[in-house]
Amino acid sequence: MEPESKRVGNSGGFNLIELLGRMTKLEKQLENSKEEHKRNVEEQQAKIEELQQKIKQETQKFEERLEENDYNLLMVHTNELEWTVGLDDMKTRHKRNEVTHGGDIKLSIRTIAFLKKRGEICRAGNASIGFKTTYGFSIHELGPVIATAPEETVELFNLRGILRKLDIWRKTFAIKSKPWIEGCDQIIDAWLRAGGGSDSCIRNQAKEEYMKISQQMAGCVDDIRRRETSRATMA
């Protein structure tokens, strides 16, 4: 132990030594803390990577299922469009009965693009004819503009598809359906001549026509229900 006189006479030096000792101890503690933190980070990173791998695997499985479902949906819609132009067989009828009949113009466009991508040119041609029969205009006219079509116009296209394809409107109410289809075509034609944009006037016309036809169609369905109820009561 240093004599008290030396400690008193050289207190600054002793304080410096003590300070350096404490700093060395703190540096060691800090280094240990860094090492521990590094280990914790590495463990967390490993867990994150493991979780990401699981998510990637599940996502891949989901995408495979989605791709398969998308394929089935497009193939079914192919049969639907082919049926429109009279290409009908037992397999086609079975597939066609699995879907809700009617108009879905965006799905129809995707279907034809899907067939072309697969190199099924003949079926794509048949489906394109069915497309024009269903929607009143060729896919070449509508394909470039339908993606940016306003909702009101798309709904009018789909309504026309329902009128053109379902037997209740093609046969049972054929006389009433004809002017409804013509009304749809007039507005759609005006929309195309305007460049296929989002003209507010045409959008309003499309919305009004859609509502008017929908209400009249609902009235026809109510008439059928009343007649069926009446027959059931009489029986």
Q: Give the model confidence (pLDDT) of 165-211 as tens digits.
A: 887 888 888 999 999 999 999 999 999 998 888 888 999 999 999 99
Residue 107 sits in the same domain as residue 161: no
Nearest to 84 by CA among 44, 43, 126: 126
Residue 184 sits in the same domain as residue 124: no
Residue 109 sits in the same domain as residue 157: no
Residue whose entry in the numeric block shows the structure tokens 């410096």: 16
| Alpha helices per DSSP H over the chain | 4-9, 11-84, 90-96, 105-117, 121-135, 139-142, 151-165, 167, 174-193, 200-234
The range of the structural domain enclosing residue 73 comes to 63-144
Residue 111 sits in the same domain as residue 182: no
**What letter represents residue 97's amino acid?**
N
Q: Which residues of the chain have pLDDT under 50?
A: 1, 7, 90-100
Number of domains in the chain: 2
Q: How far apart are CA 20 and CA 26, in angstroms?
A: 10
Q: How far apart are CA 51 and CA 47, in angstroms?
A: 6
Q: How far apart are CA 99 and CA 79, in angstroms?
A: 10
Reading the block at residue 101, the tokens are 């009949």
Domain contains 32: no
Residue 123 sits in the same domain as residue 200: no
Phi, psi of 115 (to 5 degrees): -65, -40
In the prediction, which pLDDT does 97 show?
A: 41
In the prediction, which pLDDT does 83 show?
A: 62
Q: How far apart are CA 232 and CA 39, in angstroms?
A: 79
C-alpha 70: how far from its chain's center?
A: 11
End residue of a domain, out of 120, 144, 168: 144
Residue 136 sits in the same domain as residue 163: no
Q: How far apart are CA 61 and CA 52, in angstroms?
A: 14
Residue 192 sits in the same domain as residue 152: yes
DSSP annotation of 169 reads: I
Task: Give, to the nearest 10 degrees, the angle between helix 200-234 and helix 151-165.
Answer: 40
User: pTM of the full predicted structure?
Assistant: 0.59
